[in-house]
Amino acid sequence: MTDIGTTKRATADTSRRSVLRGAAAAGVLAAGAGLGGWGGLPAADAAPKRRSRSTFPVKHVVLDCQENRSFDHYFGHAPWIGKYGVPPGYSQPNGHGGKVRPFHLRDTSSPDVYHDWGSIHREWNLGAMDGFYTTDGRWALGYYTERELPFYYDLFDTSTLCVNYFCSLLGPTYPNRFYLAAGTSGGITTNGVYGYGVLDYPCILDLLEDAGVTWKVYNIGYDNVPQGYSDNVFVFFKRFAHDPRARASRRSYLEDCRRGTLPEVSFIVPSYARGWDEHPPADVQVGMNIQRQLITALRRSSVWDSSAYIVTYDENGGYFDHVPPPQVDAYGMGMRVPTWVISPYARKRHLESTLYEHTSTLKLLETLFDLPTLASVNHRFDKTTPGGPNNEAASGYDFGPAAPPRDRLPMIGDMMECFRF
């Protein structure tokens, strides 16, 4: 057995940006328009029907989504991870009858590897979890330790690490972020649907708006939306495409923390283009230190005593993980990703093993702010989804498998287990 075998593909810039540069804007808009209309909630400028206030001590939730890191890749070798980390003797087949072990990444920047629908499915291999090396080569088996990620590892002393939190879909960034925003991607499995207002089914902002719960989306650097560089998928939804609350800045976040004027729900979107979201080949310490700044600002704020800050990752980015994700429908769940719950009420030095996925963050907001489920207001995908090139689960047919919002599923936790109230 060798520690590192021959690299099949040393680098693979298969991020959405390399694919999207060749996509015609008209085709993208047509794909979005084909999703149909929805008119179940009032217009963005309509007065809210009621004012919902949390009955829990957590009155402010900040949700940050970073990019493309798996659980084992970041925390599988942590000294306190126990049975949830990389098993002793873990290896991957090298495709030639031999085995390859994970290795310690000592450089804080590493090449991007494949993480499209097809590649992630080959890595997953129907739950065998044995296709990482044969699909992506040696870089897929690299891992970090406390030496490279000191702030993240230090969080363990005061916070909860979710050890069974999975991304939503066995595929790339945008569809997973659609689940994070709306509990479903509506059958989209590629990074080929993007732009202002191309989606018009309900997302979590609709529920917050209807309930009168205050919110903002803070952009830690502004990326180009029409060219498919931005991770701010909230502006992809028609109702909020040009809402100024969805275009708040880092300065605004820091100022809101300083003044104690943070909204009840905040979403943070670090820049991909600047390498601030940890998407390979970005330096992981750059993204980590931005998180340190944002979390520290909240901890020093007058609203800290009523706050929770959650850090998660949209998908695994092709990096290895040994835990097979439960399959709840034709789209996923996807691979396990790191997720921290940081709060005065978080269970300290705690590894939470409840089953979570991106929809769990929506369920948390629904629980804290007494919201309806997205599944109760979005029935468009209950029986089928639009087919075509952006729905690989449709296998070329005009219609694909159903994908209703997952916040109706009782097996998916709402993250309340991470707190002590």
DSSP secondary structure of 322-345: -SPPP--BTTB---B---EEESTT
Tell me the torsion sign for CA atoms 158, 164, 169, 171: positive
Tell me which H or E stretch contains 366.
helix 358-368
pLDDT at 158: 97
What is the number of other CB atoms lying within 10 angstroms of the CB of residue 355? 17
| Alpha-carbon distances of 314 from 65, 99, 221, 238, rounded to whole Å | 6, 29, 18, 22
Residues 6+ apart with CB under 8 A from 395: none
d(CA 113, CA 363): 31
pLDDT at 52: 47
What angle is formed at CA 299 by the lines to CA 298 and CA 301, rounded to 5 degrees? Answer: 60
DSSP secondary structure of 292-306: HHHHHHHHTSTTGGG
d(CA 103, CA 143): 6
DSSP secondary structure of 217-254: EEEES---TTTT----GGGGBGGGTT-GGGGEEHHHHH
Is residue 385 within 8 Å of residue 379, measured between CB atoms?
A: no
Structure tokens at 413: 């936790």
pLDDT in tens, the chain (421 residues): 433 333 333 333 344 544 443 333 333 333 333 333 333 333 333 334 444 466 899 999 999 999 999 999 999 999 999 999 999 999 999 999 999 999 999 999 999 999 999 999 999 999 999 999 999 999 999 999 999 999 999 999 999 999 999 999 999 999 999 999 999 999 999 999 999 999 999 999 999 999 999 999 999 999 999 999 999 999 999 999 999 999 999 999 999 999 999 999 999 999 999 999 999 999 999 999 999 999 999 999 999 999 999 999 999 999 999 999 999 999 999 999 999 999 999 999 999 999 999 999 999 999 999 999 999 999 999 999 999 999 999 999 999 999 999 999 999 999 999 999 8
| Alpha-carbon distances of 79 from 62, 73, 76, 84, 237, rounded to whole Å | 28, 14, 9, 11, 42
d(CA 162, CA 80): 13
pLDDT at 7: 32
Write down the CATH superfamily of domain 16-418. Answer: Alkaline Phosphatase, subunit A (3.40.720.10)
Tell me which H or E stretch contains 209.
helix 204-211
d(CA 304, CA 58): 9
Residue 220 pairs in a beta bridge with 270
Is residue 301 within 8 Å of residue 266, measured between CB atoms?
A: no
pLDDT at 3: 36
pLDDT at 54: 64
| Alpha-carbon distances of 137 from 1, 4, 121, 285, rounded to whole Å | 16, 9, 15, 24
User: Where do the domains of the chain lie?
Assistant: 16-418
pLDDT at 55: 84
d(CA 282, CA 280): 5
The region, left, alpha or beta by phi > 0 then psi within -120 to 50, assigned to residue 229 is: alpha
**Pick from 193, 202, 258: which is nearest to 225 by CA?**
193
| Alpha-carbon distances of 330 from 75, 187, 307, 349, 360, rounded to whole Å | 28, 9, 36, 35, 19
pLDDT at 44: 36
What is the number of other CB atoms lying within 10 angstroms of the CB of residue 377? 17
Residues 6+ apart with CB under 8 A from 179: 167, 168, 169, 185, 357, 358, 359, 406
**Pick from 167, 182, 285, 181: which is nearest to 232 by CA?**
181
pLDDT at 53: 62
